[in-house]
Amino acid sequence: MNYKLKRLQRPIAAVAISAFLSLGCLAQTASEKKPVPQNAQPNRIQPPKEMPSDRVAILVMEWTRAKTGAQEYIEAMPEDGISFRPTAEIRTFAEQMLHLSGGNYMFGATASGQANPYEKNDPEKMEDLKKNKAALLKFVMGSYDFVINAVKGLTVAKLDQTVDLFGMKMPCHLLLTKGIEHQAHHRGQTTIYLRLKGVTPPSERLF
């Protein structure tokens, strides 16, 4: 009997030791994890529990979301990174943001019938905005405000009216969604700019 008990005790002891060592390794791994910086992820705006059904309200919501995304990207880029370009053939970070801003003014003006304040003054060529992060951020945010205010002044009937973009006829609501696609395309390109500067890009804002 004693012999049988001793034979059983050996595997039980081995299992107990293995479990103890595993717990110790887990505890050590947890303690070695670096704390996540407080500014690693921006505070995310909680989306509404029920999306609006009114098309004007939807477009206002979408352009507002786009504005927040651009703000997060500019704020994430270090001051010395706004003039950075990964290769000589492509735009700098600031030029990407100024290019999408010029597009915002163009889309907003075409949709609303308002005059485009930068129709003859290409924002991408404004050298003073390429050197100062605060000035760049202010200008880019202003371009989103221009579109958002333009959309707020539209009616549902106006969204279905035909507008002209580069000789192409399309409903006004399609024009505005093309504008969202345009700014997302150019902001998305700057993801690699941030990575090359050692910055983790802000997370996607799908809602």
Q: What is the CA radius of gyration of the chain?
A: 27
Specify the higher pLDDT residue, 107 or 4. 107
Number of Cβ atoms within 10 Å of the Cβ of 114: 14
Q: Which two three-digit tokens encode residue 183?
A: 């700014």
- For residues 11 and 7, what is the distance between their CA atoms, to the nearest angstrom? 8
pTM above threshold 0.95: no
Distance CA 178, CA 71 (A): 20
What pLDDT is attached to residue 204?
A: 87
Tokens 């001793």 locate to 6
Tokens of 10: 């050996």
- Rounded distance between C-alpha atoms, residue 24 and residue 181, angstroms: 51
Other CB atoms within 10 Å distance of the CB of residue 186: 18
Res. 15: pLDDT tops 80: no
Cα 198 from Cα 192, distance rounded (Å): 10
Torsion region of 167: left, alpha or beta (phi above 0 gives left; psi -120 to 50 gives alpha): left
pLDDT in tens, 146-194: 999 999 999 999 999 999 999 999 999 999 999 999 999 999 999 999 9
Q: Report which of 207, 183, 206 is spatially closest to residue 74, judged by C-alpha positions.
A: 183
CATH code for the part of the protein at 55-196: 1.20.120.450
